[in-house]
Structures are given as structure tokens and as C-alpha cells.
Amino acid sequence: MKLDNKYLVREASANDLKDIVRLLFELKRQYASCKETTLEEFSKHYISSISEAIINDSNIIYVTAHNDHIIAFLSGTTRLTIRTNGITAVMEEIYVDSSHRRKGVGKCMWNHFTRHLLDNNIHYVEVVTSMAHPGQREFANSIGLEWYSSIHRATI
């Protein structure tokens, strides 16, 4: 899917692994949610799980390319949930390089993601957002999300 003939949204492949790791590192550093201080150190911890996620059927990962350079990614999962009596999707991460924000890239990726869900008869999607970042709330509102509940997390 193209956006203004500048951006191409497509399913991620193994060739995108290093770019996704780089973008995830940027995302996590932005929120001070990673202990690693260098991309090299971060890669050692994350590259295998991202690689597995790209090939795992329950994961949905898209990238956006601009001039053959990956500038954004979206990561989601699907699972059977008893509370919805069916398959639920979760959009877990979406990140657009700061130089390409507010150009419709995130919304285009969201539309691509939801089209995939509908094509697979999945009608329920949850989105994980951070209240710490007003840009996320603004984006969530722009794609029509409504606040439902909060997620509490513990590291055990």
C-alpha cells in the first residue's frame, strides 16, 4: 500500500530485522524503558525475539519504507480470548521516525493492519498506549480509539 507515492507499507521480512531493532531501540529510549545504552547492546537482547516474531503466524508486523529506507514499524499479535469469545488482536507497538511524523504514515499503517484483521475475520482489536506520551493519546484519538481500561504490568 502506498501513501502519496512516497511511503510503502508492507509486511515485514527477515531483511527488515536490523531496521526494526533500530526503530524499537529508538522507541524504547524515547520512553527511557530500556537499560541498554547502545544499539549494539540492545540488539543482543532483542534480535532473536524480533526475528522469531517476524516468522510467527500469531504476530503481524508491518514496516513503512521511504526511498528504500525503513522509517516505521507496527507490531501486533492475535490470540484466542475467552472474554471476547474469539480471536483478539493487539497492536502493541507503532513507531514512526520523528522526521516522518504527521504525514499520515501511522494512520496508513493502522489502516493496513485493520484491513488485514478484517480480511481474517478478526473484529476486536486492543491498542497498548502510554499515558506518559501525549503524542500517543493524540494518535489514538485520531484513529477513532476510545479509552476502555488500563493495563497494569509487573516484571516477575
pLDDT beyond 90 at 156: no
Collect all residues with Cβ–Cβ distance below 8 Å to 24 and sequence separation of at least 6: 42, 46, 50, 73, 93, 95
Domain boundaries, the chain: 2-142
Mean of the pLDDT values across residues 140-154?
68
Q: What does the alpha-carbon distance between residue 43 and residue 49 come to, in Å, rounded to a whole number?
A: 10
Tens-place pLDDT, residues 4-16: 668 899 999 999 9
Architecture of domain 2-142: 3-Layer(aba) Sandwich (3.40)
Query: What global pTM score does this model have?
Result: 0.85
> Which of helix, strand or coil describes residue 39?
helix
Tens-place pLDDT, residues 6-59: 889 999 999 999 999 999 999 888 877 788 999 999 999 999 999 999 999 889
- pLDDT cut 70: percent of the chain above it: 86
